[in-house]
Amino acid sequence: MKKSIYEKMTAKYQKPLLKTLEEFMAINSAYDEETVSEKDPFGIGVSTALNYVADLAKKDGFNVNVYDNKVVEILYGSGKKNLVIMAHADVVPAGTGWNQPPFKLVEKKGVLYGRGVSDDKGPLLATYYAMKALRDNGLLGGYQIRFLVGGNEERGSSCMEHYFQVLKKPQPTLGFSPDSDFPLIFAEKGIINFELSHKLNVPGLISIKGGLASNAVIERCEVKFELNNDFLNFIMKHFHRDEAEIHTEDDVTTVVFHGKAAHGAHPELGVNAGTRAILALAEYTKDPILVQLKKMFVNTDGSGFGCKGISKEMGHNTSNVGIVRFENGVISVTTNFRYVDTCDKKQLLEAIKENTKPFTLKIVGDCKLLYYPKDSLLISTLLKSYQEETGDYKTQPLAIGGGTYAKEADNVVAFGMQFPGWESNMHSPGEAVRKEDLFKGMSIYARAIVDLGKLLKDED
């Protein structure tokens, strides 16, 4: 396929992109509760990452605002009509199982590896340099472009809630978020995050600790138990060594349950070490609270708490146990539940409330369901931008289980940057992006900005 004018234009920004990405990814920008403060609402690492982006944009001559270390706003142009790009600087925790340091950019055979390389630091910078290339070549103007970089997308997007709802910033006229798949997303499942807790009295059980974020399948769950030969024999009888490993020290048995990490939107693609631990303890102890937890979460379709649902366009409901804790005599389970367009949110909440008794229920976050008709102007324009830049006229717009920034603003959809046929391992060890895809992403985003800009001008 002949190189487009946008490929030629963005080619000279490839080296700066890679150099910037290397520096950007070296910042561990996972939410850090230990360093959260009024100054650093999501932890020092996230603030550092946000200010790195702000300094980059200032150096490149853009107008920049940093709002409370929650959102960076990069501005160019003016006018009532605005094009908004929404990306995020925070990442999920690195977890274990990496073949290299997770916060170091590593290239192997044209593939770039590291936490955040595909979610969302690589796509963020591909879009940023696309915008910069257009600016440098005099192809921006006639409308305002706002590039928003948030610091809390992985934990509920309170950053964008702060920007749009608290600070009352203008809603987008049109926009996109480079934080999902190509060609683009026309529908996203609704999300309800909830925590269940209950007192638990199991003789010998000391603690349970598994998971770091509700939207990731737990890959490791640690259970501490007073030394008990019956419990040890049960574990050895029912679990292989790669599923559960046993350590004993000072009359304490530690059983480490292993799973397979995956994005919380697709729990069926992983193996949940947290639910594996609950299953083991429920089977061994027969405790009614643990048995109920097992019944609620042994399946990943929400049927365990009366919330099964199916849609022709959006698939089926999913349920992911993301955090399991037992401490101070209380067990708690945090769940990431996603629902399709055939379900009613109010009815789902009632079902969760009724079917999780006698647990204490706490709703810890929710995101609305998103749906744009495929023939809408925003969808059709972005799809054409992708098609003309790639030559791929076969792949159709997608409905996904993941929740993106598109839900946090008006007239915004998720647009790339994972290409069809490529698995980026978002939220898992070995997160990766092909270098050629990163460069192709730049040219797609450059064309998309121009194409959306034409719509804004046409509306005047």
* pLDDT in the model for residue 457: 81
* pLDDT in the model for residue 240: 92
Residue-wise pLDDT for 373-411, tens only, equals: 999 999 999 999 999 999 999 999 999 887 789 999 999
* pLDDT in the model for residue 458: 66
SS3 state of residue 365: strand
Residue-wise pLDDT for 283-324, tens only, equals: 999 999 999 999 999 999 999 999 999 998 899 999 999 999
C-alpha 375 chain-centroid distance: 27
CA distance 222 to 207: 8
User: 15-21 long-range CB contacts below 8 Å, 24 or more apart?
Assistant: 16/129, 17/125, 17/126, 17/129, 17/438, 17/439, 17/442, 18/105, 18/435, 20/56, 20/125, 21/105, 21/112, 21/117, 21/121, 21/122, 21/125, 21/438
pLDDT over 60 (residue 460): no
Mean pLDDT across 198-226: 94
pTM: 0.78
Residue-wise pLDDT for 223-243, tens only, equals: 999 988 899 999 999 999 899
* pLDDT in the model for residue 459: 59
Length, in residues, of the chain: 460
Residue-wise pLDDT for 155-203, tens only, equals: 889 999 999 999 999 999 999 999 999 999 999 999 999 999 999 999 9
Residue-wise pLDDT for 1-22, tens only, equals: 789 999 999 999 999 999 999 9
Q: For all residues of the chain together, what is the average pLDDT? A: 95
* pLDDT in the model for residue 209: 98
* pLDDT in the model for residue 427: 82
Mean pLDDT across 34-53: 98
Among residues 366, 368, 95, 331, the alpha carbon closest in space to that of 213 is found at 95
Residue-wise pLDDT for 340-382, tens only, equals: 999 999 999 999 999 999 999 999 988 889 999 999 999 999 9
* pLDDT in the model for residue 154: 92
